[in-house]
Structure 1
């Protein structure tokens, strides 16, 4: 079962997931990075460009999902270095520090809240996120073209691409596609028909929606909706 709540860390979400039954799970790209807790380990989920499929996992997971573009400043690593990866936090931070944090979370009465505390503390003393990034997310999520977004923010195309690689793990065109996918999923899960969803989410037509869902999520839209648990 999956559950989430708003975090004390601005823009972040705290979530837990315990699979109800064996089988593959499917994590869809969303423009975010996560700090994960599983079986006594701290891991980092890098930004995905396609669905991340888990096979047969029955253990419980918890995570803090950072607002798009903010995790690299907290973790001290450019997002593109972790693209489509799941890595141990000890590969990024000193092993002794990660061991101390793992012991602290394991000893806590509420490990999920302790994980959130670790994420909040990551933000203390970290460089503040690039203020332009929220503007990038807002513009692309509203359906503005990449070129118009760059112009509105006073950035050249190459400069916007470099900043996006560092913050999101990929360029603005990929980010725009992922945000559009997420808009579409909200609509169809709310009962909107596929054709209307395509128009409202910013696709050229329903066929365009179907192609993007298959490429980014790895399943046809109808089948994906029947496997929401991932």
Structure 2
């Protein structure tokens, strides 16, 4: 299986919201967000990891994005991208293999176990928007699958950030090492990294769009030791200091706005 690093997009930290028609989505607990954008150049802020997987339509081809461990910038500007972000607890089931096998990878969807074997291109999309088609693909895939109830429970606790890794292991009746292995399988990353990613998203969610936050208070409110800790974590995960990374944040988590002037069209489900 050829696996290409997803450097021209990676994943986008995006908002969650209702579907465009106002009705509950069939994927209400499966697809966290739908988005479309035009990639900017490498001078724009990096795209941070979000702990999720997803499907994207890029230049007429549908790809599956594995979990992301580092900030990325687009390789090329002006590329049209449509995508859906899959809920954290569904990623491994949709992929069909342990998610750590797909870390930082972009894979043609037909190469995933159990998916159609012929390339799925834009000219094979069903009626409706490309995001509708991607959502339908994920729904169809999930309709044949089941998820262990432990997975969404632990995913929720990781994202809430209310427990240490040791406490999460104890709650789960596992050793820390067993929890580490399970997180690699189901989420692609160790629990400590997932918790850091989630904490950064919680910090971003508190920043009004184009606001000028008090970083010291923001750090304390979102579980960092102090402002220096927030600065280090933001540089490592977002590739920028907080003042720059949060400058493009909205009150619905990070959204990377392209410099072309085109707005990001979001249609999220949570």
Report the Cα offset of residue 184 of structure 1.
1.0
Question: Residues of 2 paired with 1:184 and 1:3: CA distance?
Answer: 14
Match status 1:198 vs 2:219 = yes
148 and 94 in structure 1: CA distance in 2 versus 1, 3 angstrom threshold: closer
How does 1:130-209 map onto structure 2 within 5 Å? Answer: 130-140=148-158, 141-189=160-208, 192-209=213-230
Residue 212 of structure 1 is matched in structure 2 by 233
1:111-165 Cα distance to aligned partner (Å, 9 max, x none): 2211111110010112x22211222222222331010111112222122111100
Higher RCO (Cα < 8 Å, 6 or more apart): 2
Question: Residues of 1 paired with 2:17 and 2:135: CA distance?
Answer: 11
Q: Which has the higher helix share?
A: 1
Preserved contact between residue 110 and residue 120 of structure 2 (Cα < 8 Å): no
Preserved contact between residue 55 and residue 65 of structure 2 (Cα < 8 Å): yes
What TM-score do the two structures reach when normalised by structure 1?
A: 0.87
Question: Residues of 2 paired with 1:71 and 1:145: CA distance?
Answer: 23
Question: Residues of 2 paired with 1:22 and 1:202: CA distance?
Answer: 32
Residue 5 of structure 2 is matched in structure 1 by none
Q: Which moved more, 1:95-104 or 1:184-193?
A: 95-104
Which residue of 85, 89, 96 corresponds with 1:65? 85
Question: Residues of 1 paired with 2:138 and 2:47: CA distance?
Answer: 21
Report the Cα offset of residue 14 of structure 1.
3.7
What TM-score do the two structures reach when normalised by structure 2?
A: 0.75
What is the Cα-based RMSD across aligned positions, in Å? 2.4
Question: Residues of 1 paired with 2:103 and 2:120: CA distance?
Answer: 26
16 and 138 in structure 1: CA distance in 2 versus 1, 3 angstrom threshold: closer
Match status 1:88 vs 2:113 = no
Match status 1:53 vs 2:73 = yes
How many pairs align? 226
SS in 2 for 1:15: strand
Structure 2 residue runs without a partner (length 5+): 1-13, 19-24, 250-254, 257-270
